[in-house]
Amino acid sequence: MDQKSERILEVLKENSKLSSREISRKTKIPLTTVHHRIKKLEKDGVIEKYSVKVNNKKIGLDLCAFIMASVSPATKKGAAWHKMTEKILKSDFVESADVITGEKDLIIKVRAKNVDHLNNVVGHQLRSIEGIEDTLTMVVLEEGKKE
């Protein structure tokens, strides 16, 4: 990827709602070049989707936590691992679920209204998923912001 495409991506990461014309102005790259580059980045799978960054506190999800989970050996084999991760990701309030190395097998990022809500998410939703053996929950005290 060249510098023009990288500059276009940086602008889109800041605000994916900008028009090609606005991106052209910000990057000083001709409008037609911006348009064609974005289409190529989409076609090549570099840009997978456009999204919105939500202020979670304004919608009542003040609490962020990471849950590390151990997975049963039987679940780690074949399609069961993939199905379990898909089920976790469909759960309300789960932002991400990633397979990791180390003592635990998964790290799951969740949002909750408060501690009682977090307890429900962990204790009833996540722990009830077949294959999860145990969990370790870490509450985020202060979130870093990437500008």
pLDDT one-digit tens code per residue, 15-51: 999 999 999 999 999 999 999 999 999 999 999 999 8
CB 24 within 8 A of CB 31: yes
Q: Could you tell me the pTM of the whole model? A: 0.77
What residues make up the domain containing 91?
56-139
102 located within any domain: yes
| 61 shares a domain with 37 | no
CB 80 within 8 A of CB 72: no
Indicate the DSSP class of residue 95. E
C-alpha separations of 108 from 8, 37, 44, 68 in Å? 31, 34, 29, 6
Structurally, the chain folds into a number of domains equal to: 2
CB 84 within 8 A of CB 130: yes
Q: For position 33, which CATH number holds?
A: 1.10.10.10
| 36 shares a domain with 10 | yes
pLDDT of residue 147: 60
pLDDT of residue 65: 97
Q: For position 120, which CATH number holds?
A: 3.30.70.920
Task: Measure the CA–CA gap between 31 and 49, rounded to whole angstroms.
Answer: 21
pLDDT of residue 146: 67
pLDDT tens for each residue of 91-144: 879 999 999 999 999 999 999 999 999 999 998 888 888 899 999 999 999 988
Tokens of residue 21, six digits: 């014309």
Task: Find all residues with CB under 8 Å of 88, minimum gap 6, and list them.
Answer: 94, 97, 106, 108, 126, 129
CB 135 within 8 A of CB 126: yes
pLDDT of residue 118: 94
C-alpha separations of 38 from 15, 21, 53, 63 in Å? 14, 12, 20, 36
CB 74 within 8 A of CB 80: yes
